[in-house]
Structure 1
Amino acid sequence: MASKGCRLTIVPRDLESQLAFFEGKVDHTEKAGQRPGGTPQSNATLERRLPDGRWERIWSRALVNDVAPVDALVSDGMDYVVTFDNWHSIGYGDDAIVIYDIANGGVRTFSVEKLLGTDYFAALPHSVSSVQWRGDKRIEGGQLVIDVVVPDESRSMGHENHVKLAIDLASGKTTERSPGAWRGARTFAERVNAASRAAEQANRAERGAPLPGPASHDVLGWHSYLREAFWRVDPDWIEGSPATTVLLARRAPNYRDSVKWIGKHLEESGGGPEMFAGVDEADLMGVLTKVTARLRPGALHGKQVYIAASQAVHARLTALFAPSRATLVLLDPARPIPQRPERLPRADGSLPTPFDFRKSEDSP
């Protein structure tokens, strides 16, 4: 905003709910999520305070944004209003920056991707729906000045390093302040994109290759192995959603919790598949022996239970789970699991996900 002498009020387009909006976007519905009879378009009103304390409207109009902008500024002379970003999609769209010329009625829109360049934009930190592209913003002497985020290889949100981009309010001309700093920022962006390309290439190679077992003490590796194994071998891999539990090393601070997790997942199991592994196989076998001894006969009838363990203990595991009537699937980490054809990398390099194969409610 500008001084205390003005007031800008923005009214969003009226939605039934966030869920209705997102569902409408998926279905490519015009005016996604619109509430029947509600405000059909976002709008803004600019007022100035009169000497007697009353507010006088000096400008009002419908805004370019679909639902509403996220932030706004008013120039000191109250001759320009600038809005930033779109609700729930920061950084995206041709109207990520909009400059409204109050005196002349003009409107200028800017795409962040076009302003910064596709490569720079791709290197910025991304969440599911937004791009963290800016820090502070202000109007200085007829120019909009924005602190633009400098990418780094962590790609994490909450950056502190910025370069300054200026946009002339009257002409729309852009200027990168401190060209040396911008050259450095673009160098960082190149490094981030190179690292991303290398990671994507590695992911494609891993997706197509047989799946080996992880290092014995790599807890996160065991969780990843179990999930990926499920997608490779389970007949219901498209719709299934397994729970993965890894027994930690005895020296781990939350080792006892991991023992309880195994018991809880077997004794209070829900409907989905359960998957188990341990950083120490002998310890895992000991825990499973105790837990299965507590199960009543037939307690796991129809329940899928995956266990990652060496071939040497498979017969023992089969005997342990036989009374419970679990549907036991044994994974030998020493035997790499081939990829199913449907999940191999596509010709364009993209990686299929289970969501790509799920039928929508409208499908016949």
Structure 2
Amino acid sequence: MRTNLLKLLVFLFIFINTLPQLFAGNFNSGDPFVVVLDAGHGGKDPGNMGNGFKEKEIALNIILKIGETLEKQKNIKVIYTRKSDVFIPLDKRAKVANDAKADLFVSVHCNSHNSQAYGTETFVLGLHKTKANFEIAKKENSVIFLEEDYEVTYGGFNPNSPESYIGMALMQEEYLNQSILLADFVQKNFTNQLNRKDRGVKQAGFLVLKNAVMPSVLIETGFLTNNHEGPYLNSNNGQNKMAASIVAAINKYAQSINLSSLESVEDLAPGRVEEQPSQIYEGITFKVQLAAGSKKLKTRPYNFKGLQNVERAREGDLYKYYYGATSDYVEIKSIHGKAKQNGYPSSYIVAFKDGKKISVNDALKTKVN
């Protein structure tokens, strides 16, 4: 009996002393959360010149504002692919992030079109499902023609050839869910905080994302060719607001990752024999997002490592696959644990209210029954 009591006391001592690190997740002094910020284009590559504005300058201004805010948070380390008007090859941008062992790679750009199209869209790496997505990827990737020996550097990759993009999605498959999570936060902030038109979270084959071995997004902040959006993005006020929304999305993403880390350790805590009481959040439905992609899969167990009753939902250009549905937060954590045991370590909990996705943090702020 005394031996068991001693073991319990030792466990409690270790757990209590490590609790601050668990809450900190990647945000502890020994292991900062590393964010690589990438301003599109630069130097001899001006990017698009819609309405006479320069994409390379606007993207850099937004990136520097994002970095300035993040650098004030003591446990975030910010690294830039460029901080001035210089040309950086696409492969070197990913190398900066990989060498830094970054937790996030965020690339900022501005869009253009031969119409008065407007709105924001955030891309993750994958096969472009529509011609419009292909055209955007082709335009951003064409910068490699300004590089020497680009055919050798990129293994014969041709931005104008659809065949060159086949298989690209596999390069970042491991990080797709996390990339989509961040992209979703970015788009929701643009829409809800800034009232920008939401063009969605999309997949396309961007070279700058291809070799980055961490969650990565490419943000198109709006259309310089639009007579209203162009001047907005070129203004200090517009750039400040876009930067603030992206910062908020990065912070929300980091917090959500930290919550997942804490829950994982709690699930593994020994000596838990008593069941936790239910935590019912009225009007909230929690689910576990297993995966997302442009391919429409049958929701049969053989496609999802034996998991049954998987649900498919289309959001923009992507199909998202969910497991479980409950208003009980304790139950969804148990379901999440089963998903991870069955081979979905990067799955995560999502929340819905009145059929619309909200952040888990917001869901947990509602009243518990």
| TM-score higher than 0.5 | no
* The structure with more radius of gyration: 1
User: TM-score, length-normalised on structure 1?
Assistant: 0.24
User: TM-score, length-normalised on structure 2?
Assistant: 0.24
